Structure 1
Amino acid sequence: MSTTRPYSPGDRGPEPGGASGASEGGVAAAGASGEGVGASSGAVAPPGGRQVRRLSFGDESGVVPLARDFTRQALYAWGWLPAASADQRAAAEDVLLVVSELVTNACLHAEGPDQLRITCDNKVIRVEVADRGTGQPSPRTPHRAGRPGGHGMFIVQRLCLDWGVVRTPGVSGKTVWAELGAPA
């Protein structure tokens, strides 16, 4: 489903206090510029609590592997990895793939990503990639499976419960978000 809603139905709305760089749920934020990428306190939110991780890219190079490594560390901290079953392993791999696709799209079409934000509760992982681009992401139509390139948003659309774009009036850029269900 392609949408421009800032939040999916039933979502809790914007994060209280804005994007201050602080984490919720007792998990430390990490930054790509001198803060020790992937550093965390190891603390995990209580069951049913919402957990958030942020990665600011700055002028870093190699942002796609950086984003995947950061996300993998979050998945370990949140108990998605190591996976106990094939379904759980597939769900974690889907999250990593969606992160790769959204960050790659920001690199190719939007002057690069500014920040990756990952939010997890017991049912959903939400991935958000903020960039300075003005374009509107959408799956290419018609999708041509046999041709190289142009599959990123098609993949996101197929793997995710929902996705969309948030724009803040008066601010350049956008945030592309996608939500994936937790493994059964």
Structure 2
Amino acid sequence: MPRAVPPVTGLQGALTLLRLPLSARPGITAEARARTADWLDDITERVVVADVLLLVSELVTNAVRHTGEPGSLLLLRDEKLLRIEVTDSSPRPPRPRPPRRPEDVGGLGLFLLGRLARRWGWYRHGPGKAVWCEVALPPPRPLPAC
């Protein structure tokens, strides 16, 4: 399991960002997914977008379910890398659940994070924490020649 690390990333050059305040209200995970999908509308690799949307869903849902007080969703990207970061009010580090029976619901969020993200971790953020992950982005498609 990743340890607490400072908020350092491999992002370089021109960055774009999206910040979405979160709350524990119904529908916040769907809103975070929709805003993320709109923000990534220039990414042509749909599998990458689907992975990112799943990671956003898991991180936001975990912040709501396990802390009750999510803070914000931050998305940062350059041409090669996307960083997803969700803050919450709990200082407790994320802990994977032990293996469970296949018919049990839930408990796969951190497993998915480990499988889909290039790397992930967490760090203390104010009285709580931030959980982050990074996803490699496909190279931009060249413009067609005229």
TM-score (norm 1): 0.68
Count of residue pairs the alignment pairs up: 138
1:6-41 C-alpha deviation (Å, 9 max, x unpaired): 2456456xxxxxxxxxxxxxxxxxxxxxxxxxxxxx
- Are 1:140 and 2:105 matched, yes or no? no
Say if 1:9 and 1:68 are closer, same or farther in 2 by CA, change over 3 A: closer
Say if 1:93 and 1:145 are closer, same or farther in 2 by CA, change over 3 A: farther
2:3 partner SS = coil
Letter of the 2:71 partner, please give it: D
Matches of residues 151-170 of structure 1 in structure 2 within 5 Å?
Answer: 151-168=108-125
2:94 partner SS = coil
User: What do you get for the CA RMSD once the two structures are aligned?
Assistant: 2.1
Higher strand share: 2
8 Å contact kept, 1:5–1:165: yes
Matches of residues 1-184 of structure 1 in structure 2 within 5 Å?
Answer: 2-7=2-7, 10=10, 49-58=14-23, 60-76=25-41, 79-80=42-43, 83=44, 88-141=45-98, 143-144=99-100, 146=102, 147-168=104-125, 171-183=126-138
TM-score (norm 2): 0.84
Greater RCO, CA 8 A, separation 6+: 2
1:138-171 C-alpha deviation (Å, 9 max, x unpaired): 3223x34613211011101110011111214xx3
What 5-or-longer segments of structure 1 have no aligned partner? 13-47
Q: CA deviation at 1:136?
A: 1.3
8 Å contact kept, 1:58–1:114: yes
8 Å contact kept, 2:84–2:133: yes
Q: CA deviation at 1:172?
A: 1.1
Letter of the 1:165 partner, please give it: W
Letter of the 1:6 partner, please give it: P
Separation in structure 2 between the aligned mates of residue 9 and residue 92 of structure 1, nearest angstrom: 20
Say if 1:9 and 1:99 are closer, same or farther in 2 by CA, change over 3 A: closer
User: Which 4+ runs in 1 deviate beyond 2 A?
Assistant: 6-12, 57-61, 138-141
Separation in structure 2 between the aligned mates of residue 174 and residue 166 of structure 1, nearest angstrom: 6
Say if 1:122 and 1:11 are closer, same or farther in 2 by CA, change over 3 A: closer
8 Å contact kept, 1:110–1:135: no
